[in-house]
Structure 1
Amino acid sequence: MTLTTTEQITIGEAVTRLMPDGVPFRMTAYDGSAVGPEDAPIVLHLRTQRGLAYLLTAPGDLGVARAYVMGDLDVEGAHPGDPYEVMRMLMSRLRFRVPPPAELLRIVRGLGLNNLKPPPPPPQEHLPRWRRVLEGMRHSKERDAVAIQHHYDVSNRFYELVLGPSMTYTCAVFGAEDTSLEDAQAEKYDLVCRKLGLRPGQRLLDIGSGWGGMVRHAAREYGVTALGVTLSRQQALWAQREIERQGLADRAEVRHSDYRDVVEGGFDAVSSIGLTEHVGVRNYPSYFEFIRSRLRPGGRLLNHCITRPDNRARDTGAFIDRYVFPDGELTGSGRIITEMQDAGLEVRHEENLREHYALTLAGWSRNLVAHWDECVAEVGEGTAKVWGVYMAGSRLGFERNEIQLHQVLASRTDAAGNSGFPLRPTWPG
C-alpha cells in the first residue's frame, strides 16, 4: 500500500510500518487503534495527542521519556519503580525500520503535521547542552555545581528510601548474589580502605564524598582523619549531621566544596568514588595532576568510576544527559589508566566490577518499589518515574557489558621510585 500525501493513518498503522518484523508487545492509542498480540503481558498505551507530539518531535529515548514522565504514555504489566522486564524486552526485541525520507514524510503527514510542534518538556528535564552556556563553560566550577545539584539535591529523604541506611550512591561489592545491599556497600568501603592500605593516624581525602559513607567508614573502622568534599549542599549537611551523630566529628568532615578548592596537602590516601564521570575527559590531566599534588610521596589513589567497554569518544544518550547526569562523560578504563600514568601516578592494580553494579541497581530498584508511595509523595510521580527508568536501564547496561565499573589503584612514588606497596596485594575479597 502506498500512502498519498493526504491520506490519514492511525497510530497503530504507523507503528506497523516502522516495525515490519512485528511488535513484541501490545500497543493501544487514544485514536482507538491497536497493534501487537492481544495476550501480550506488556501493554503500552499512548493516552494523548501531546504524547504523540513528544514521540514525533524527539525520536528515540528522549521522546519516549518525555511522554512517559508526563503521563501521556502508560505501561501496563510493570511497576513504574522497576520497569526492568519491560526495558529488557524492548532493548532485546525491538527492531525499527528507518524508511526513506519521502515515505517518512508521508507517514508524518498521515498522522498530522500539527503534531510536529514540540510540547514543553517535563519539569524534570535539564536544559540541552547548547543552552547551558549561561551556566558557564562545560565543567567550569559554576556549571559543574548546577549539574550536581540537578541530580543530587532532589531530596535527602528520597535518597534514604532508595539507597537504604548506608546512603551510598555508588557500586557495592557483593560476596554472593544474595548478599544484602547494606553488607555489600560496607564491603565496598572496606575494600577501598584495604586497597589504600589505611592505618590509624593517616589522613584521607575523599573527593565527591556524597553523604559521607567513605569518610565515616574510614574514620570509624581504620582510625584515619578523613576529609570529604561534595558539590551538593544537601549531601554535605546530611553528612555532617551523621558524622556528629556517630561521634566522629573529631576526625571526619564533609565540606560543601569543589575539590579544586581543597588547599590541604600531604594526604596519605585519596579516594575518588563515582566522581570521574562528572569531571570531563578533557579535564583528566588536570584532575589527576591535582590528586597527585595532594598526595605525599608513597601515598595512594583509588579511583572508582563507571566506564565504557572501549575507549572511543562519544556522548551519553539524550535521556541520561537531560534527566540524570547533565554533562556526564564516560570513557574506557584504558583512557583513565593512561591519564593517571601521564600525570605521574604509578598504576598498581585495576578490576572491573560491572556485575556488582547490576546487583546494586537491582537493590535500589527494589527499594523504590517498596517505598513507591512515599517516594512519589516526596519528589512527585514524574521524578520517581525517571528514577525507575534510569535504574532499570542502567542495570541492563551493566548486564549487557555496555557500561562497566572499574577501580584503579595507583601510587605517587617517591624520588627513589618507592611505591610503598608490598610484593603481593594485601586486600583479599
Structure 2
Amino acid sequence: MSEAVQARWPGVAHTPRTPLKARVAKMILKPAAQQVPVRLTFPNGTVWGAGGPHAPEMAIKRPQAFFARIGQDTKIGFGEAYMAGDWTTGPGTDLAHLLTPFADRLANLVPKPLQKLRGLVDDRLPHHERNSIEGSRSNIERHYDLSNDLFAEFLDPSMTYSSAWFGSETESLQAAQERKMDGILDQAGVGEGTRMLEIGSGWGALAVRAAQRGAHVTTITISQEQAALARERFAAAGPEVESRIDLHLVDYREIKGTYDAIVSVEMIEAVGEEYWPVYFNTIDQHLAPGGKVSIQAITMADHRYRATRNSYGWIQKYIFPGGLLPSPEAIDRTLARHTTLAVTDRRPLGRHYARTLRLWRDRFDENWTRVNAQGFDETFRRMWEFYLAYCEAGFDTGYLDVVQLQMQRPAEAG
C-alpha cells in the first residue's frame, strides 16, 4: 500500500501478526459458515458454507490476512478485511445479499459457551469518543463534516440522511423522504404558529418543511459543514420560509427557550447511553405544557442492546464514533426514570430503511467517479459500500429497526 493509504488507514494497512488467534478464528468460522446459505470460496478451490452453486459467494482472496484480522478483533476485523480487499463478493453477488444471511443468524453464529466470553474480548468505547459536549463535536465532525459534496452524490435532492417512508413500490426517494418528514411533523402537531425546536438540523430539509407549514423553527446542530449548507438552503426556499427559521450552532445541552413541538430525526444514536437521561430531560424541560415530541430512532431488540452496549465495533470505529443504538425498552426506561414524558405512538419503518439504504448505495456506486475526484480513495469506497450494505442487511432481516416515536406527558395526552 502507498504511504498515503498507510497513514490514513493504519488499521487496514497493517495485517495483525497473531498466528494463534488466526487459527482459532478459522476453527470457529468454519462450523459457523456451515449454518449459513452462502459459499465461502478460497484460492485453492476449497468451499465452505451451506449454500448451493447459486448461493451468494464470499470470495476469500487473502486467507491468511483474513483470519488474522478476524482473530485479532472479530467485530472490527471482518469489516477491515473487506476494506483491505482480503475478501470480496463473488461474480454476480450483491454485498447486502451476502451479508443478509449472516445478519439473520448473528445471535447464533458463535457457540453459546463462547458467547459468555464476550466481556473478555470486547473493546470498550475509547474515552475520547465519549459524548461530552467536546467529544460530541469531535465525533460529529468525523462523519457529517466529511464533505457536503460527498453526501450530495448519494442522497436525494432534499439532502435527507435518514430513513424514508415509501408509499408504493414505484415512489421516488424524494417523495418518500417528504412523507417521512410529514409523519414527524404530524406526530409533533406542527402547524401554523407552532414554536418548534429541531435537535439535529441535518442539511435543513425538515426545518424548511416545518416553516412551510407556518411554524416558527429553531434548529440546532454542531456540524459546521451542515450548518453552512442548511443556511444556503433556507435562503433558497424564499424569504418567507427563511424568516421563520433560526439556526444555532449549539449542543442540545445548551438549548434555551420553550417550544410547543420538539423533533429530532436519528440523532439519539449519537447521544451515548450515559447521556440519554440528560438528552430526554432536556427535551422535557423545554417542552411547553401540552406540547408533543417526535423522534425518529434506530433501535435494536432489548436483549441485543444489553449484549452489545459495552462493546466497540467496526461501525463505531469507522462510521459513527461514539454511537450506540437504544432498544425501545431502553428509551421507555429512561423516560420513566428521568422525565415526565412517555411514548404515546410508534410508527416502525425498518423495511423502509433497507430500501432507502439500497437506493443510497446504488447512487454512491453510480457516482463513484465524482466522489473519487473529491479526494476519496478506494479504501474509502469499500468502507462506505460495506457500511451501507451492512446496515441494509440489518434492517432487511429485522435485526435493526427504525421507529417514529411520539412522546407526551401522559396527563396532557389526548
Q: Aligning the two structures, in what range does the TM-score lie when normalised by the shorter sequence?
A: 0.7 to 0.9
Question: 1:360 & 1:236 partners in 2: Cα distance?
Answer: 24
TM-aligned CA distance change 1:293 to 1:78, over 3 Å: farther
2:267 corresponding residue in structure 1: 275
2:294 corresponding residue in structure 1: 302
Q: Find 1:159's aligned residue among 151, 160, 163.
A: 151
TM-aligned CA distance change 1:255 to 1:15, over 3 Å: same
Residues 275-308 of structure 1: CA distance to partner in whole angstroms, max 9, x if unpaired? 1111123322221111111121111111210111
Q: Which amino acid aligns with 2:392?
A: R
Question: What are the equivalent positions in structure 2 for 1:20-59 lying under 5 Å apart?
Answer: 24-29=38-43, 34-35=46-47, 42=57, 44-47=59-62, 50-51=65-66, 53-58=68-73
2:400 corresponding residue in structure 1: 403
Residues 1:185 and 2:177 are matched in the alignment: yes
Q: Aligned-residue CA RMSD in angstroms?
A: 3.4
Question: 1:408 & 1:93 partners in 2: Cα distance?
Answer: 28
Question: 1:255 & 1:266 partners in 2: Cα distance?
Answer: 15
Residues 1:257 and 2:250 are matched in the alignment: yes
Q: Which amino acid aligns with 2:95?
A: P
1:390 corresponding residue in structure 2: 387
TM-aligned CA distance change 1:259 to 1:46, over 3 Å: same
TM-aligned CA distance change 1:398 to 1:296, over 3 Å: same
TM-aligned CA distance change 1:257 to 1:39, over 3 Å: same
Instruction: Answer with 42-51 or 282-291: which moved more.
Output: 42-51
TM-aligned CA distance change 1:223 to 1:65, over 3 Å: same
2:78 corresponding residue in structure 1: 64
Task: Quote the offset at 1:92 in angstroms.
Answer: 5.6
Question: 1:381 & 1:344 partners in 2: Cα distance?
Answer: 49
Task: Quote the offset at 1:412 in angstroms.
Answer: 4.3
User: Secondary structure of 1:374's partner?
Assistant: helix
Question: 2:347 & 2:273 partners in 1: Cα distance?
Answer: 20
Instruction: Answer with 20-29 or 348-357: which moved more.
Output: 20-29
User: Secondary structure of 2:373's partner?
Assistant: helix
User: Secondary structure of 1:164's partner?
Assistant: coil
1:120 corresponding residue in structure 2: none
Question: Percent identity, aligned pairs only?
Answer: 29
2:223 corresponding residue in structure 1: 232
Task: Quote the offset at 1:52 in angstroms.
Answer: 5.2
Q: Contact 1:78 / 1:85 at 8 angstroms: preserved in 2? A: no
Q: Find 1:381's aligned residue among 375, 378, 382.
A: 378
1:372 corresponding residue in structure 2: 368
TM-aligned CA distance change 1:77 to 1:228, over 3 Å: farther
User: Secondary structure of 1:162's partner?
Assistant: coil
TM-score, structure 2 as length reference: 0.79
Q: Contact 1:171 / 1:360 at 8 angstroms: preserved in 2? A: yes
Question: 1:78 & 1:376 partners in 2: Cα distance?
Answer: 24
TM-aligned CA distance change 1:347 to 1:86, over 3 Å: closer
Q: Which amino acid aligns with 1:404?
A: D
Q: Find 1:85's aligned residue among 66, 88, 97.
A: 97
Q: Find 1:359's aligned residue among 355, 361, 364.
A: 355
Task: Quote the offset at 1:83 in angstroms.
Answer: 1.3
Residues 53-109 of structure 1: CA distance to partner in whole angstroms, max 9, x if unpaired? 434423x24222212212343433258xx61122235556899787x99xxxxxxxx
Residues 179-228 of structure 1: CA distance to partner in whole angstroms, max 9, x if unpaired? 211111000111111122212222111001211111111112x1111121
Question: 2:262 & 2:268 partners in 1: Cα distance?
Answer: 13
TM-aligned CA distance change 1:377 to 1:28, over 3 Å: farther
Question: 1:270 & 1:386 partners in 2: Cα distance?
Answer: 34
Question: 1:208 & 1:240 partners in 2: Cα distance?
Answer: 14
Q: Contact 2:104 / 2:397 at 8 angstroms: preserved in 1? A: no
TM-aligned CA distance change 1:405 to 1:17, over 3 Å: closer
2:141 corresponding residue in structure 1: 149
1:174 corresponding residue in structure 2: 166
2:233 corresponding residue in structure 1: 242
Structure that is richer in helix per residue: 2
Stretches of structure 2 lacking an aligned partner (at least 5 in a row): 1-18, 115-122
Q: Which amino acid aligns with 1:350?
A: R
Question: 1:376 & 1:232 partners in 2: Cα distance?
Answer: 23
Q: Find 1:287's aligned residue among 271, 279, 285.
A: 279
Residues 1:339 and 2:339 are matched in the alignment: no
Residues 321-347 of structure 1: CA distance to partner in whole angstroms, max 9, x if unpaired? 212222211222122133234401243
Residues 110-140 of structure 1: CA distance to partner in whole angstroms, max 9, x if unpaired? xxxxxxxxxxxxxxxxxx756x33x37x221
Stretches of structure 1 lacking an aligned partner (at least 5 in a row): 102-127, 422-429
Question: 1:97 & 1:250 partners in 2: Cα distance?
Answer: 56
Q: Which amino acid aligns with 2:251?
A: D
Q: Which amino acid aligns with 1:345?
A: L
Q: Contact 1:16 / 1:23 at 8 angstroms: preserved in 2? A: no
1:328 corresponding residue in structure 2: 323
Q: Which amino acid aligns with 1:411?
A: Q
User: Secondary structure of 1:154's partner?
Assistant: coil
TM-aligned CA distance change 1:64 to 1:347, over 3 Å: closer
Q: Which amino acid aligns with 1:272?
A: S
Count of paired positions = 374
TM-aligned CA distance change 1:21 to 1:335, over 3 Å: closer
Question: What are the equivalent positions in structure 2 for 1:96-115 lying under 5 Å apart?
Answer: none
